[in-house]
Amino acid sequence: MEKQALPASSLILEDKVSHLSNGAATYPLPAANGSLVPLAVSGGGAAGAGQDKTVTVGVANGAGPGYQERETWTRQMDFIMSCVGFAVGLGNVWRFPYLCYKNGGGVFLIPYLLIVFVGGIPIFFLEIALGQFMKAGSINVWNIAPLFKGLGFASMVIVFFCNTYYIMVLAWGFYYLIKSFSSTLPWSSCDNEWNTPSCIEIFHHQDCKNASLANTTVGNSNMTCADLADARSPIIEFWENKVLNISSGLDEPGKLNWELMLCLVAVWVLVYFCVWKGVKSTGKIVYFTATFPYVVLIILLVRGVTLPGAYDGIMYYIKPDWSKLEEAQVWIDAGTQIFFSYAIGLGALTALGSYNRFNNDCYKDAFVLALINSGTSFFAGFVVFSILGFMAAEQGVDISQVAESGPGLAFIAYPKAVSLMPVAPLWAALFFFMLLLLGLDSQFVGVEGFVTGILDLIPGKHYHRYKREIAVAICCLLCFIIDLSMVTQGGMYVFQLFDYYSASGMTLLWQAFWECIVVAWVYGADRFMDDVARMIGYRPFPWMKWCWSFITPCVCIGIFLFHLVNYKPLTYNTEYVYPWWGEVIGWCLALSSMLCIPTTILYKLFRARGTFRERWAHLTTPVWGAHHLEYMAPDVKSLSPLSPGTDDNKVIIFESVM
């Protein structure tokens, strides 16, 4: 690819040129051929004082002190598989199918696909392209407009919270997987120590349709129809009494569940050894963790469609209800689901993109990954509803009574369904193994994104052979310590607090809105399109620019305001209402990321010098990395070898606003 010159007044080097005082300084940067040359900076005056400085480059005979080149993927397919592993997760299997059936079946695809093209793909592409262009993680990538570096800190806070609570789902899945290796599934009967007298294995709802039979005994049990209203399934009792051993509220943490804690330790150890060596090892592991769930989904679909009631379940899933398009909630659900399932605003996509080759075609990758993500969501619906249709037929109830989303589907509805199948332990083990893999690659890519952001903050001169391994260990240990609060009897209440507030729809929408504003209006949409063209060799369709500038920010802020206006206090099982101090903790979790952006803007503006216009101009000037000079600077190979010490030998390459 031909190397092109940056516009004048656009260059500030990463090595703190923006903080120069009077006098001269030299900084290493690469020549077009990859060797390093010293950068000489001369001139006086403080930044923001309105004086121009001339940044000059001389080509030395010897190489200066080098900079460590960023690690890259061994193959481009490693990047694709890592993105698939991260973005295609539990939400595709347990949230999308439920939203689809709830919001009008096949009709839901209309608002879903519309928002994919006006919100999902543009921001998905923006984050990957930003990482690839800046060759940096979620914090340093905002050197493209340093005033808004708070966006990077916000995404780090969000992904840290996600890493902390998301792994609990894997711990529960691992626990269920272990319990599946038994001749009789422990959640299929009422003969266990954790069951109560209200436990009943089969609900004979059809015997109680006549209200006059309230005192009639149903089935082979001693329960009357009146008692049936308070009866509990063995799977619910296994979940609440055995797995969670749940207390009465957030104010009663209770004791640790040692079995669950050991599962948590095992999963964290697995994550650590998947991440500790960086993308070279992670890129290999995702070939299995990202593809094998598709094998299991196909096996479960083949099994599901052969069960009685499967057809009714699938028709319930896709049957269109056109009247739903008039409801605002349907459009909001579509938008929120896309932001969740595309993993937007977490900074991990940026980190993955930063390991790409500079000229990788990330535009094409974004569309391929979007197709895989949304296609998986739709396909998983057939798997889930074929099983739920069978479950409804077995119990003699409507499918709406067994359809659930989230943990309710994974740990209650589906385990109940497989317990009704022949060779139940096999299907249970397959399902929970798939669940574990779906969550595992999302988890370790999330940890990778967080660690990448942290390591990018450490200057290259502080090199340590095992700094990545140490950083990953500290991250995992810190998250594990917080997770201990979630393996207590009150742990489910803590988990819901994190899930509802820390990485909620509002925080992700807030993040996505500011990403679009900064790139389109501060840095410049046309300017960034030019940068993308330098990387991939052609300009993307102008639709991307229009979305970043107008459509996507409007979609984000619209859904954000809808969430805010229709806010409802958090509850557990629609019965337990969280205390006021619990809600305060939740809002603190949400605001801890959202306030990073305005706080950082105000802090940087306050600390800068000069008039407001001078401060703004200085703080929105990009801080380029060394690789930008290699790929984008004029070719300096033709310059004669010079001695860097004399003014006569200085060659003006760029002029900066300083």
C-alpha pair distances (Å), 152 with each of 55, 129, 307, 424, 586: 28, 15, 49, 46, 21
| Element containing residue 475 per DSSP (H, E) | helix 467-483
Judge whether residue 566 has pLDDT over 60.
yes
Looking at the chain, the whole-number percentage of residues with pLDDT higher than 90 is 43
pLDDT value of position 461: 58
Judge whether residue 427 has pLDDT over 50.
yes
Judge whether residue 316 has pLDDT over 50.
yes
Domains of the chain in start order, with CATH, are: 91-196+232-606 (1.20.1740)
Q: Identify the residue with better confidence: 637 or 623.
A: 623
Average pLDDT (278-293) is: 83
Judge whether residue 576 has pLDDT over 80.
yes
Contact 597, 154 (CB under 8 A): yes
Judge whether residue 546 has pLDDT over 80.
yes
Judge whether residue 110 has pLDDT over 80.
yes
pLDDT value of position 7: 40
Judge whether residue 19 has pLDDT over 70.
no
Report phi then psi at 383, rounded to 5: -65, -50
Which residue is listed with tokens 């002190």?
A: 65
Average pLDDT (47-65) is: 36
* Of the candidates 473, 471, 418, 464, the residue with the CA atom closest to the CA atom of residue 296: 418
pLDDT band at 462 (very low <50, low <70, confident <90, very high): low
Q: What is the pLDDT of residues 598-611, one digit of tens each?
A: 999 999 999 999 99
Q: What is the pLDDT of residues 502-537, one digit of tens each?
A: 987 889 999 999 999 999 999 999 999 999 999 999
C-alpha pair distances (Å), 348 with each of 127, 232, 373, 505, 536: 9, 41, 16, 17, 21
| Element containing residue 39 per DSSP (H, E) | strand 36-42
pLDDT value of position 92: 86
Average pLDDT (630-655) is: 41
pLDDT value of position 463: 65
Annotated binding residues: 85, 87-88, 92, 341, 373, 438, 441-442
pLDDT band at 179 (very low <50, low <70, confident <90, very high): very high
Q: What is the pLDDT of residues 192-212, one digit of tens each?
A: 888 888 888 776 555 565 544
Judge whether residue 50 has pLDDT over 60.
no
C-alpha pair distances (Å), 327 with each of 173, 321, 333: 35, 11, 10
Annotated binding residues for Na(+): 85, 87-88, 92, 341, 373, 438, 441-442
Q: What is the pLDDT of residues 390-425, one digit of tens each?
A: 888 877 778 877 777 678 788 888 888 888 888 889
Q: Identify the residue with better confidence: 18 or 236.
A: 236
pLDDT value of position 584: 94
Q: pTM score, two decimals?
A: 0.82
Burial class (CB in 10 A: 0-12, 13-18, 19+), 631: middle
pLDDT value of position 15: 40
Which residue is listed with tokens 């970043």?
A: 548
Q: Which of 80-84, 100-104, 110-114, 369-373 has the lowest mean pLDDT?
A: 100-104
Looking at the chain, the whole-number percentage of residues with pLDDT higher than 70 is 80
Instruction: For residue 219, give both structure tokens.
Output: 């089935």
